[in-house]
Amino acid sequence: MSTRRFVLLSVSLIVLVAASAAEAQKWGRAKRPDAGACFFRDANLAGDYFCLKAGESLPDIPKGVSDRITSIQVLGRVGLTLFTQPLFKGGSATIAANVASLRAAPVAWIDPVSSIQVRKRPTSQEADRIVRRAYKELLTRAADDGALKFWIPRLTDMGYSEAQVREELIKSDEYKRLSSPKR
């Protein structure tokens, strides 16, 4: 392949990838993914929407879109995290089931959604490995039965991410004791 064709092909691929990311942030009625989430302008999964596939994320949702997300449809075994700030910062909510209205309980989200992460939920076996690895690496011990019973359903059913499990372990008193300087 000539250098010119390679450059042209590379530029075309970059344009396609950028276009698909930009399309995800526009309201419409695109095909819904088998595994992912769709974000609706109206309550009860109605009206125009945009979708993200499992593994996709939006680090900075434009204002005309972020402040109009009203309901969410979860498709397949995915979990998603909504953030109040761009770049996956600020307050967050983890979702693993359809939400008819972000403004109503149990979510009661009042801020614009500024960034979103959509991920495949792990199987029980994968969740078991995630929890055991986090305990070994952060708390330098094996995860006990209570820890496994607590964390595995959060990963498999409630949409928690591995990062959220690790963040919670780092906040624990046990981790703080282990990481504090010895006197």
pLDDT in tens, 83-104: 999 999 998 888 889 999 988 7
- Among 166, 126, 124, smallest CA distance to 149 is for 124
* Amino acid in the structure at residue 102: L
Please check whether residue 112 is in contact with residue 67, taking contact to mean a CB–CB distance below 8 angstroms: yes
- The pLDDT score that the predictor gives to residue 108 is 72
Give, for 77, the enclosing helix (H) or strand (E): none
Question: Is residue 14 included in any domain, yes or no?
Answer: no
Same domain, 52 and 107: yes
Same domain, 115 and 130: no
Q: Is the pTM of this model over 0.75?
A: no
- The pLDDT score that the predictor gives to residue 21 is 45
Please check whether residue 155 is in contact with residue 121, taking contact to mean a CB–CB distance below 8 angstroms: yes
- Tell me the residue range of the domain where 92 lies: 27-120
- The pLDDT score that the predictor gives to residue 25 is 61
**30-61 per-position pLDDT tens digit:** 889 999 999 999 999 999 999 999 999 999 99
Same domain, 113 and 151: no
pLDDT exceeds cutoff 60 at 129: yes
Question: Is residue 5 included in any domain, yes or no?
Answer: no
Q: Which two tokens stand for residue 169?
A: 């372990």
- The pLDDT score that the predictor gives to residue 61 is 92
How many domains, the chain?
2
Question: Is residue 161 included in any domain, yes or no?
Answer: yes
